[in-house]
Amino acid sequence: MRKIRVVVIDDSAYSRRAITKMLESMPEVDVIGYAADGEEGIRKIIDLKPDLVTLDLEMPRMDGFTLLRIVMEYSPTAVIVISSRNEDEKVFRALELGAVDFVAKPTKGVSEEILTIREDLHRKVRSVIHLNLAGIVRRERELERASVAADRRAPGTVPYAAAAARTESAAPRPAGRLEVVAIGASTGGPPALQRILCSLPDVFPQAVVVSQHMPAGFTRTFAERLNRLSPLEIREAADGDEVRAGRVLIAPGGHNMVFERQGSEILARIVKPGTEDRYVPSVDAMLLSCAEVFGPRTLGVVLTGMGNDGSKGIAAIKRAGGQALAEAEETAVVFGMPKEAIATGVVDKIVSLDRMSREIMQRCGLLNDVD
């Protein structure tokens, strides 16, 4: 099989050497070039036509954001951002612009700590083999238009407190229909989740819970970003948070989110991952708990991602009498997770991303049908 051809772009000579060494230890990878800034990086991408680019965001002459815009417009290429942990807000902007995933550097300076990203880097590079690049370009353009529209709103038009106040007056938890929408995602998930959650109405009669594979420290920024863009109350889940209508809880990076019933309330519990949890936050752990606690009042949704996380949970939800959706191959950045969910034979409907929010709203009783 042809090797994955990679160009490494980073202004730090030490980081370039370290990343190149980690990539060259993979037999399926060939590092064909490197660059120290965005201008040189664009020339290398045009000349060498790599399958994948690893990209630092903060660089002289031309930063990673400008490079991403140009590359995705004129020479679409898979990009994995490798950025220090204090740049998490910038990472999500890069994902909106078309980067497929990110790897968090433990430090921005020169340190052997960078070698700790080796396993994560290898796993995400291998996902490129299954990448739907056309879907990424289409998603990036749609999100760019949506982001411009959101930026035109006056600051504070949908503040956190106002969103929270609206959810207090939302419809009470329904007794005989869906109670929770549980969404799992991995590679390509942040833009997909943004697309869905920003399309839901401000008065939403179900709770929403999300497990997105993401390292510790990034999910809070992700949740805060979504909360600014969406009319819903969106937060990183804390242990003991109530799961209630109109609230979106995102599992914190590095932990699993499960649920327990206490009287009339259902609470989120944040727990350490088990040894069997290859990817964290675990989608299966969340969906299995939903099946147990919410039973037939659960709608499980599996979005883009590599691997099979979520397939066991989807099967459990169906056994409990709930409903299940999976993202269609045509829009999934990586079709691994939805493909495995579909392979269980129990998924009710396969839905493209551009129809997913409408399908969810229809199943939640907000729309009569889906065109």
Indicate if the pLDDT at residue 139 is higher than 70.
no
**Is residue 166 domain-resident?**
no
Domain contains 32: yes
pLDDT at 140: 63
Place of tokens 């739907």: 132
Q: How many domains does the chain have?
A: 2
Sign of CA dihedral 189, 190, 191, 193: positive
211 catalytically annotated: no
11, 51, 56, 309: the catalytic one is: 309
Write out the residue range of the structural domain in which residue 351 sits.
Answer: 180-364
- Measured torsion, CA atoms of residues 282, 52, 119, 136, in degrees rounded to the nearest 10: -10
Specify the CATH number for the domain of residue 30: 3.40.50.2300
| Residue range 246-268: mean pLDDT, rounded | 97
Buried b (16+ CB within 10 A) or exposed e, 185-202: bbbbbbbbbbbbbbebee
Distance CA(369)–CA(342), nearest Å, equals 23
Tokens of 19: 């990343």
Cα–Cα distance between 371 and 359 in angstroms, integer?
A: 9
Residue 296 in tokens: 């037939």
Of 133, 160, 188, the one marking the end of a domain is 133
Average pLDDT rounded to a whole number, residues 115-126: 89
What average pLDDT does the structure give for the chain?
88
298-302 and 323-327 beta bridge pairing: parallel
User: What string of H, E and C letters represents the secondary structure of 194-236?
Assistant: HHHHCCCCCCCCCEEEEEECCCCCCHHHHHHHHHHHCCCEEEE
The verdict on 205 and 126 lying in the same domain is no
Tokens for 99, please give them.
Answer: 């980067």
> Does residue 172 fall inside a structural domain?
no
- Band of the pLDDT at 182, cuts 50, 70, 90? very high
> Is it the case that residue 15 has pLDDT exceeding 50?
yes
The average pLDDT across 214-230 equals 93
Query: Which residues make Cβ contacts (< 8 Å) with residue 219, sequence separation at least 6?
Result: 212, 236, 250, 251, 252, 253, 281
Answer yes or no: is 149 within a domain.
no
Determine, yes or no, domain membership for 142. Answer: no
Q: Report helix angle 64-74 to 88-96, nearest 10.
A: 10
CATH of the domain at 276: 3.40.50.180
pLDDT for 108 equals 59
d(C-alpha 292, C-alpha 298), whole Å: 10
Residue 75 domain-assigned (yes or no): yes
Last residue of a domain, one of 133, 162, 191: 133
Percent of the chain with pLDDT over 70: 85
pLDDT of residue 149 exceeding 80, the answer is: no
- CA gap 235, 221 in Å, rounded: 9
Q: What's the pLDDT at 224?
A: 95
Three-state SS at 292: helix
Of 89-98, 110-119, 260-269, the range with the highest mean pLDDT is 260-269
- Asked about 213 being catalytic, the answer comes back as yes
How far is 183 from 313, CA to CA, in rounded Å?
A: 11
pLDDT(72) > 60: yes
Does residue 255 share a domain with residue 112?
no
Q: Is residue 116 domain-shared with residue 218, that is, in the same domain?
A: no
> Which candidate in 15, 83, 84, 186 is catalytic?
186
Which single residue is written with the structure tokens 């990424």?
136
| Amino acid 239: pLDDT | 98
Range with the lowest mean pLDDT among 119-123, 138-142, 354-358?
A: 138-142
Nearest-angstrom CA–CA distance, 315 and 288: 9
User: Is 154's pLDDT higher than 60?
Assistant: no
- 218 and 99 within one domain: no
**Whether 246 contacts 285, CB under 8 Å:** no
Q: What is the pLDDT of residues 157-176, one digit of tens each?
A: 333 333 333 333 334 444 45
Q: Is residue 199 within 8 Å of residue 231, measured between CB atoms?
A: no
Instruction: Look at residue 19 and give its three-state secondary structure.
Output: helix
pTM (two decimals) = 0.87
The single residue listed with the structure tokens 């495995």 is 340
pLDDT tier for residue 236 given thresholds of 50, 70 and 90:
very high
Please list, in sequence order, all residues whose beta carbon lies within 8 angstroms of the beta carbon of residue 342, skipping any fewer than 6 positions away. Answer: 326, 350
DSSP conformational letter for 242: B
Residues 118 and 42 in one domain: yes
Residue 225 to residue 93: CA distance in whole angstroms: 10
Mean pLDDT value across residues 86-103: 88
Active-site residue among 10, 56, 84, 213? 213
In a domain, 26, yes or no: yes
| Per-residue model confidence as pLDDT tens digits over 312-353 | 999 999 999 999 999 999 999 999 999 999 999 999 999 999
- Please state, for a pLDDT cut of 90, what percent of the chain lies above it: 74
pLDDT for res 175: 43
> Higher confidence at residue 75 or residue 303?
303
Residues 6+ apart with CB under 8 A from 238: 252, 268, 270
Q: Find all residues with CB under 8 Å of 122, minimum gap 6, and list them.
A: 22, 26
Rounded distance, CA 33 to CA 31, Å? 6
63: helix, strand or coil? coil
CA dist 348 and 342 (Å) reads: 9
